[in-house]
């Protein structure tokens, strides 16, 4: 009971300091409460300030979206190939995105509690607990996605990818841009011709992708903006196999990272200075924290389809700290020319599957000849020795047999 009383007392004290920027009439976090989480004031921090866990779901979801869709096949053709499309990933917002564990100092004892994130639920406006609850707009999101345009070109098994999206200032969105650069190289042409026909659809490629994105947001009743600069990087190994010509099944193993840096300046106008005419700023927020996303290993499965000569949709599943789904349905890939088949490459190289190559065959024949020569020499020596041995004389001509006379 004492522990419960202490916790209740601690939250009541927290509520007393929070009254200035309490939740709104519906129990959602006020604008100040939500935005102040991006600012670290150092020793002047209040409960609202420097709360990376409160805003971490933003970069968790955004990082997963930006680190996806860098490849559409494990195979990169030798012929010149062009691609264009608008890939996007869908990341479901789950319970883990709506709460996080935060530690409070209760009479000198650190205690962890699950509290709402910026995607979290609202509280009871009649009971001011001092907690910062979720943002009403973000709480209403069931999935997280981020559209962009992607183009790519490849030649001699190397592929270059560019992606981007640029939007003008719209309403509360003051900035929205994205630029990404990716590379891919496939190694299947180095070994496919040595495989049996049933396994010649196997291919392996390395993929690198880097994205940078800028988002600017100006809350209602505020001037200035919150600026978020996001960077995301991924390194992947993609293994693909074509059981039939127009379907490819792919598996991805890789490592990804993502970081969100906040900056900007936001304030409300309390009035005008009568002497200078300058605005008097109040409820000032200067975002300055940096938050990492789901940095770590990733795993993915995908299926690519080739319909006709250019339509190339891809559907897949990725896991990197949380699940996401690839819905790359608007994608086109046009190959100019025809690559040699593994059998044609094998014929050019003089490679016959299941046969010993000429060098090895010559070596084997040489060893066999040496062994035969040694065997022949040994037989000749044995025959010569046999011919040189003296023959035993059993005639006994000089030996007189005794006679026995009666």
List, for residues 60-99, the tens digit of each pLDDT value. Answer: 999 999 999 999 999 999 999 999 999 989 999 999 999 9
Q: What is the pLDDT of residue 19?
A: 41
Give the C-alpha separation, 251 to 25, whole Å: 49
Report the share of the chain in percent with pLDDT over 70. Answer: 83
Tell me which of 258 and 327 has the higher pLDDT.
Answer: 258
Annotated domain spans of the chain: 18-349
pTM as predicted: 0.78
Phi, psi of 188 (to 5 degrees): -60, -35
R_g of the chain, CA atoms, integer Å: 39
Q: Which helix (DSSP H) or strand (DSSP E) does residue 382 occupy?
A: helix 358-388
Give the C-alpha separation, 376 to 391, whole Å: 26
Mean pLDDT of 243-265: 95
Cβ neighbours of residue 98 under 8 Å, at least 6 residues apart? 57, 116, 117, 119, 120, 121, 134, 139
End-to-end alpha carbon distance in the chain: 144
Mean pLDDT of 347-352: 82
Give the Å distances, CA to CA, from 17 to 32, 52, 130.
14, 20, 8
Per CATH, is 18-349 categorized as 1.10.10?
Answer: no
List, for residues 190-219, the tens digit of each pLDDT value. Answer: 998 888 888 888 999 999 999 999 999 998
Q: Which of 8-22, 43-57, 243-257, 361-375 has the largest mean confidence? A: 243-257
Name which of 337, 345, 343 is nearest 78 in CA terms. Answer: 337
């Amino acid at each position: 009971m004492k522990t419960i009383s202490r916790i209740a007392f601690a939250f009541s004290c927290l509520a007393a300091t929070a009254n200035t920027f309490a939740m709104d009439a519906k129990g959602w976090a006020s604008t100040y409460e939500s935005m102040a989480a991006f600012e670290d004031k150092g020793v002047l921090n209040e409960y609202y300030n420097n709360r990376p866990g409160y805003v971490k779901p933003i970069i968790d979801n955004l990082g997963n979206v930006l680190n996806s869709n860098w490849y559409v096949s494990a195979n990169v053709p030798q012929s010149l190939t062009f691609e264009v499309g608008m890939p996007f990933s869908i990341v479901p917002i789950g319970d883990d995105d709506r709460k996080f564990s935060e530690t409070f100092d209760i009479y000198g004892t650190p205690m962890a509690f699950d509290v709402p994130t910026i995607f979290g639920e609202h509280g009871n406006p009649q009971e001011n607990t001092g907690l910062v609850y979720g943002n009403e707009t973000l709480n209403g999101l069931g999935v997280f996605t981020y559209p962009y345009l992607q183009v790519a070109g490849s030649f001699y098994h190397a592929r270059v990818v560019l992606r981007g999206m640029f939007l003008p200032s719209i309403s509360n969105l003051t900035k929205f841009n994205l630029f990404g650069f990716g590379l891919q190289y496939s190694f299947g042409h180095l070994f496919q011709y040595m495989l049996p026909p049933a396994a010649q659809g196997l291919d392996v490629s390395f993929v690198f992708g880097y994205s940078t994105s800028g988002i600017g947001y100006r809350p209602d009743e505020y001037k200035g903006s919150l600026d978020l600069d996001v960077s995301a990087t991924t390194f992947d190994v993609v293994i693909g196999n074509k059981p039939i010509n127009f379907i490819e099944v792919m598996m991805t193993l890789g490592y990804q990272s993502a970081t969100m840096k906040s900056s900007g300046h936001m304030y409300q106008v309390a009035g005008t200075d009568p002497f200078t005419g300058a605005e008097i700023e109040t409820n000032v927020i200067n975002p300055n924290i940096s938050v990492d996303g789901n940095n770590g290993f990733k795993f993915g499965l995908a299926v690519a389809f080739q319909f006709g000569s250019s339509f190339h949709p891809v559907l897949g599943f990725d896991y990197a700290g949380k699940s996401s789904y690839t819905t790359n349905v608007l994608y086109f890939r046009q190959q100019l020319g025809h690559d040699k088949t593994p059998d044609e490459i094998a014929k050019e190289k003089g490679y016959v599957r299941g046969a010993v190559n000429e060098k090895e065959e010559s070596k084997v024949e040489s060893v066999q000849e040496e062994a035969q020569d040694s065997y022949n020499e040994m037989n000749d020596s044995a025959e010569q020795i046999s011919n040189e041995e003296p023959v035993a004389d059993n005639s006994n001509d000089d030996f007189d047999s005794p006679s026995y006379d009666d």
